[in-house]
Every structure is written in C-alpha cells, then in structure tokens.
Structure 1
Amino acid sequence: MSPWRLLLTRPEEDCAALAQSLEVAGVASSCLPLLAIEPVQLGAEHHQRLAALAQCQAMIVVSKPAARLLLEHLQQAGVQPPTTGWFTVGEATAAVLRSAALKVSCPAQGDDSEALLALPALRQAIAPAGARVMIVRGVGGRELLAERLAEQGASVDYLELYRRCLPAYPAGMLMHRIQAERLNGLVVSSGQGLEHLQQLAAADWPRVARLPLFVPSPRVAEQARAAGAQQVVDCRGASAAALLAAVQRSAAPAS
C-alpha cells in the first residue's frame, strides 16, 4: 500500500473515477470537488457558432464537460457536426467525441495546450490561409491556444458552454478534512482548481500550502509556487496515469 493519502479536487464524476484508479494502484484518496460545472443558457450567438462548425478547419474541445454539452446541444439543435477536424488536449475528452463517431486527434504525449499546439495534424489543419478554428470550452480560461493559433494566421472563435464554480462548503472544511483523514498530498487539475483550493483554504492557506501539491503542467506549477505552495510536483499531464506516475516517483512526507 502506498504511503500517500491524497485529496482529489476534480469535478465530482471525474473525482470518483480518479479515486477508483488510484485505489487499484494502492493509493488512498479522498474526494472534495472544487469545480462544479454549471451549463450556460444558450443564446442566438451560441446557436450561430454551433451552425458555423461546418465551416471550420479545426474544432478544439478542451474538456469532457465541453464535449458532453456540445454533443447534447448539437443533437437538440438538429445540427450535424463535421466528422473530421476535431482536436482535444487529452484522450478522455477525445473518447467522448469518438462516441459520436467523430474523428479526433490528440497528443500522444502530454495533455496540455502546449502539446496540442505541437501536434502535426493541428498544424496541417490550420495551414490554409484564413483557416477558421472554433474552441469549445467553459466561460473564461487560458488564452494561450487562441493567441498561438492567431499568430499562425488562424481566425479563432469561442463556443463557451459552461461555467466552473466553487461548490459551497462550510468554513474550515478543507483543513478539517486534511487533519481528520491524515491526508499528506493535494491534487489539482487546472489553474482554476488551484484558485478554488486557495479560496476554500482562506486563512488556512499557509498551512495547506506546506503539503505536496500535484499539478498537471508547468504553467500550473509556476502558478502554485507563486501562490506560496512549498512542494509542487508537475505531473506533466492531467490523466490518472500521469498522476500515478508522479506519485510513484515522489517520496511521501514522514508521518
């Protein structure tokens, strides 16, 4: 049995799946979702962009919630999506789209924006002059994809389908959970997840920040260190396999 006891903070469904994967590998965990997915009400602009997918050379779907909501809205609107030109950051999101018989490309190594931008298939898709790209995501978020694609001559639009909210928890709950379950590591899956962790910790953040913190990318690692996290482990990916590999190569704190 691994000496690690991790706090998982992904959205509820993903948190449960991750906990199960870790349990099989002998890693104990506790779920405290810090990202709740709230679908947005679609307006005329959303419907215009759903219809515009057929004119895009590349459609980038950044998360599983985005993929699920997109398929639901396409079905409700009676819009037939193009079968090719789909891209995702990770394999899990690709699997959602492939369930609708869409052909999806994603990086074989690394599941972040940088890995996707380096994907030859995406570079080929946006090579034609005036190539159009639709990024399907939640409201707000990182602009790196759009900025880099625009630098390469692509015209980029967003189709934003949900908001990420911090669930309501009692004050002090985070520290209480850590102490009661003797947790010795924290896991966040995004920059916003880290922000919500800090927000929930509130006055307890200096103590929480002493625990090892597993993050999915160099960008979030930099953000965590800037926020005062003292032991940051970059998993180089957000998948269960990437987390497990990082856990297995990291020494747990002494009890």
Structure 2
Amino acid sequence: MQISGKTIVITRPEPENQHSCAFFKTLGANPIPLPMMAICPISDTQKCASIQSQFFDIDLYDFVIFVSKNAVREAIKWLDRCWPMLPEGVVWVGIGKGTTQLLQEEGIPATTNSGQTTEDLLRWSALRQLENKKVLIIRGEGGRPTLGDSLEQRGAKVNYLNLYERTSLDYSKSQLSQADSANLILITSGEGLENLQASLAKNVKMWCDKTIIAPSQRVAEMAIRHGWQSVVQAPGADDNSILQAIDCLQDI
C-alpha cells in the first residue's frame, strides 16, 4: 500500500512520537500524534538515592540490558555522574536495533541479536548459559517480567533498575475525533494498546474497523482479542519496520 495520502495515528510516547510523525510526513502521509502514555523520570528522593547506589555497583554485573530507548536516555544521565569511564567486563545489551544504536551513539559498546522484542532477545545464544551470571535489567517501573523470569530460569541472578514511570494520557472525545477518519493506527506496545482501548471505551468510540499495525505477535494477538478486525504484525516497533508492514498491505 502506498503510504502517501494516508492518515496514520501515531500512538508511541514522546519524544519518539514527533520523530515518527516527521518520518511519515516526509513520505507524504498525514500523521496524527496521539501518544498513549507519557514517560516521566523517577524523581522521588529516596528512589533516586537507590538508583545512584545501583549505578555505582554496575561493575558487579556480567550483563546490563536496556529494554528501550527511554531506558537508555535516563541511564546515560546516571552513568555520566557515576562513571566518567565505563567499567570493564560488562556486556551491554539493547533490546532491538534502535535501542542498541542509541547506546552506541552515546559511547556504550552495546550489542544485540536480530529481532526487536524481548522474545527475540531470549533466543540469542549469548544468553542461553547464565549459571551464576549477574544480570541487570534497566527499564521503567511496572515492566513485563518475561525477560527477568526467563533469565532466572537459565540460572542468572537478576536485578531490576527502574528509571522512569509510564502514565496513561487522557483524551477528550473531541481530541479523539480528529482521528475518526484515519486509515491506520500505529501501536508500539501492549500497554499503549490497552490505554487506547480504555480511551476509546471512555469516549464511546469504535475504531475496530480500522487497520492496526502491531509491533509483535503478542501485541497483534491482544488487538485481535479486543475485537480489531484488521491487524497487521510488523517485524518491530521502529518506523522502518512499520513502513515495511504497510508496504505489504493492499490499498485501503
């Protein structure tokens, strides 16, 4: 399907939302920014003290895994304060190419495998044998336990470092109405989908006849369970993966 002339709702959080809108606009699309959550750095004094303590101990870990670009952005601030030079012996890992690339741009020699999701990362041979290995997962509060639970089953000792909170955004019926004529809905996470469902239900909106682009099989299956009639699974949540999925669609 040609994206030019199509209206696409972008639900990913800022600052990625504005980047995606700019990307699709250059292709001739009409993007509508409708973030389904806000990313807020942890500000509680006691929590920040604990975060700093964990960063000072980051050299004790064999693997440090960043779950998202937001995790990278917040972690860089702390690493700059606590580690003028990065500790040696740590394997830095990003989930997905976008997160890994951002780490590398920030001077962290991160690595990953092919794929964009937690499930893809868990298929990586480097994370199969983890007996007595120490793993730190850097993420937002309330993240999925899938990665940590799976690594613990492989023998790893897993700790979490939560650096930000995700809060759902509330939209009025008039704000949602601007997207009533949209051709495509871009969803980049399960939580974003749930927040969209809640917002639509609150405002008595029915968008299930629209085509929804999901970043993974898990989120695609969630959309189907919610009653979406046209669900397309992209190979990842980044803009190029989304575009690849759209290109495979028949015109709508």
The TM-score normalised by the length of structure 2 is: 0.89
Q: Distance in 1 between matches of 2:19 and 2:138?
A: 23
Residue range with higher mean Cα deviation, 93-102 or 190-199: 93-102
Q: Distance in 1 between matches of 2:34 and 2:205?
A: 19
Q: CA offsets, 1:91-115, max 9 Å, x none?
A: 221122213321111223x200111
Pick closer, same or farther for the CA change 1:171–1:24 going to 2, 3 Å: closer
Which amino acid is the alignment partner of residue 119 of structure 2? E
Which amino acid is the alignment partner of residue 88 of structure 1? G
- The alignment-based identity, stated in percent, is 30
Q: CA offsets, 1:115-165, max 9 Å, x none?
A: 111123334xxx353101000000012111111111110011110011111
1:13 partnered with 2:19: no
Q: CA offsets, 1:182-232, max 9 Å, x none?
A: 211101100111011112212456611221110100011111111222211
Pick closer, same or farther for the CA change 1:128–1:202 going to 2, 3 Å: closer
Q: Distance in 1 between matches of 2:160 and 2:50?
A: 10
The residue that corresponds to 2:221 in the other structure is 222
Q: CA offsets, 1:77-98, max 9 Å, x none?
A: 4565435401111222112221
Q: Which blocks of at least 5 consecutive residues in structure 2 are unaligned?
A: none
1:112 partnered with 2:117: yes
The TM-score normalised by the length of structure 1 is: 0.88
Pick closer, same or farther for the CA change 1:134–1:231 going to 2, 3 Å: same
State how many pairs are aligned.
Answer: 246
* Aligned residue runs from structure 1 range 92-171, under 5 A: 92-108=98-114, 110-123=115-128, 127=129, 129-171=131-173
Select the residue among 33, 49, 58 that pairs with 2:54: 49
Q: Which blocks of at least 5 consecutive residues in structure 1 are unaligned?
A: none
Cα RMSD after superposing both structures: 2.0
Pick closer, same or farther for the CA change 1:186–1:228 going to 2, 3 Å: same
Pick closer, same or farther for the CA change 1:43–1:13 going to 2, 3 Å: closer
Pick closer, same or farther for the CA change 1:178–1:116 going to 2, 3 Å: same
Q: Distance in 1 between matches of 2:121 and 2:83?
A: 30
Query: Does the residue aligned with 1:160 lie in a helix, a strand or coil?
Result: strand
Query: Does the residue aligned with 2:58 lie in a helix, a strand or coil?
Result: helix
Q: Distance in 1 between matches of 2:203 and 2:147?
A: 34
CA contact (8 A) 1:36 1:167 kept: yes
